[in-house]
Amino acid sequence: MNDMQNSPENTHPQPTNEAGNVSQPAAAPASSTPPRRSGGGGQAVLFGCVIVLAGLLGAQWWYSHQELTSLRTEVAKRMQSGDEVSNETKIIAKSVQEAVTEVQGKVSVIESKQMEAQSQQLALEQLYQDLFKRRDDWALAEIEQVLSTASQQLQLAGNVSGALIALQNADARLARADTPQFVKIRRAIANDIERLKALPNLDLTGIALRIDSVIGQIDRMPLLADEHPAQAAAEPKNRPVVKRAAKPGAAATDEPAAEEWTAVWKARWDSWSSEMWSDIRQLVRIRTVDNDDALLIAPSQAYYARENLKLRLLNARLALLSRNESAFRSDMVAAQDSIARYFDTRAKQTQTAQAILKQVQSSNLAIEMPTLSESLNAVRNFKAR
């Protein structure tokens, strides 16, 4: 082959056909030199190499075609399965989206209900606080009213027991509330209770009952102008006791019998004479009266005299209950003067009534009543906060 390339005949380029194959030179004339054997053998080897190379290329193409076909088949399968998975994923995603939408709706409803419940809870808490505050305000208002009434009764009527009951009830109500803020009020109420318990005991009820008993006796008390005035208690009459001395078994003489008869008739005469004198004294009575008008009261005016005395004693009773000492003393003095002026002071009923009135008048009403200002101020200060 080297010889062929180096020969002068091959120095010029060889023409090629349209197929790209090297065109064979035209047959040399017969007179040319004969072909060489070495050049024909090289072409055969080259052709064989080309054939082998073509076979290899064909095998490689067939193998690549098979691989590509299998790859396409596998890719198609994978794409089909991917489409199925994608469809399933879309369905699942759609269902999940619907579930999420439903859950979001439920969550929105729950949130709205939660907000409503919170607002209701806040409203209930506010209402409870307002109610609790109003309940305390109502309790304090009632306690203030009770203490104010008890203070007025204590100052006007001296009703110590009523004031004590009011204070104890107020303290018990504050104790049931069990609020630490009420400790100051309860301390003030306890101080007022101690002051009321330290007061001296005055039996107003007993004194009032004694005055009522005198009022009940007025209708039975005799007046000076009565037709049959009551007399003082009659003294016991001393009648002579006749002693008969007789000895058993002995005969009485005429002189002792005469003396005994004389003593009996003398005793009878004394008895008759005393009774007659008593009757005569009933007909005419001489009395010393300081006020002449007391004897000139007509029977119709006697009723008004008794009623006026009753009114005086009733006024004294009211002054006693209201602890108005000056009015009580004045009415008691006026009542005693009326009894001494218009009633028979020698009668037992009159003397009993005068004794009771003197005992009542000696009672001491000059007791300074404390005020409940400490408790009232504590309640008012707590309400003003």
Least confident of 66-75, 127-136, 145-154: 127-136
User: What's the pLDDT tens digit per position in 274-308?
Assistant: 877 776 666 655 555 555 455 556 666 778 888 99
Closest among 372, 66, 47 to 195, alpha carbons compared: 372
Type and span of the H or E element at 276: helix 254-283
Residue 345's pLDDT is what? 84
Give the residues across from 16 on adjacent strands: 22
Q: Please name which of 239, 233, 242 lies closest in space to residue 273, comparing C-alpha atoms.
A: 239
Report pLDDT for 17.
Answer: 44
For helices 373-384 and 37-156, give the axis angle rounded to 10 degrees: 150
Coil vs helix vs strand at 223: strand
Per-residue model confidence (pLDDT) at position 254: 53
Mean pLDDT on 254-281 = 75
Alpha carbon distance 244, 263 (integer Å): 10
- Measured CA to CA, the distance from residue 214 to residue 12 in angstroms comes to 183
> How far from 238 is each of 90, 234, 241, CA to CA, in Å?
147, 12, 9
C-alpha radius of gyration, the chain, whole number? 75
This prediction's pTM: 0.42
Contact between residue 164 and residue 146 where contact means Cβ atoms under 8 Å apart:
no
Convert 98-164 into a string of H (helix), E (strand) and C (coil).
HHHHHHHHHHHHHHHHHHHHHHHHHHHHHHHHHHHHHHHHHHHHHHHHHHHHHHHHHHHCCCHHHHH
Would you kindly state where each structural domain of the chain is located, as residue ranges?
112-199+375-384, 202-232+294-368
Mean predicted lDDT score pLDDT of the chain = 75
Q: From CA 375, how far away is CA 143, in angstroms rounded?
A: 10
Does the structure show a pLDDT above 50 at 82?
A: yes
Q: What is the pLDDT of residues 180-205, one digit of tens each?
A: 778 888 898 889 888 888 877 777 78
What DSSP assignment string belongs to 45-100? HHHHHHHHHHHHHHHHHHHHHHHHHHHHHHHHHHHHHHHHHHHHHHHHHHHHHHHH
Model pLDDT, residue 295: 53
Tally Cβ neighbours within 10 Å of residue 229.
Answer: 14
Distance CA 286, CA 9 (A): 216
Contacts of 315 (CB under 8 A, 6+ apart): 327, 331
Give, for 358, the enclosing helix (H) or strand (E): helix 348-361
Query: Pick from 310, 308, 304: which is nearest to 216 by CA?
Result: 310
CA distance 380 to 385: 9
DSSP 8-state class, residue 8: G
Count CA atoms closer than 13 A to 353's CA, side-chain side: 30
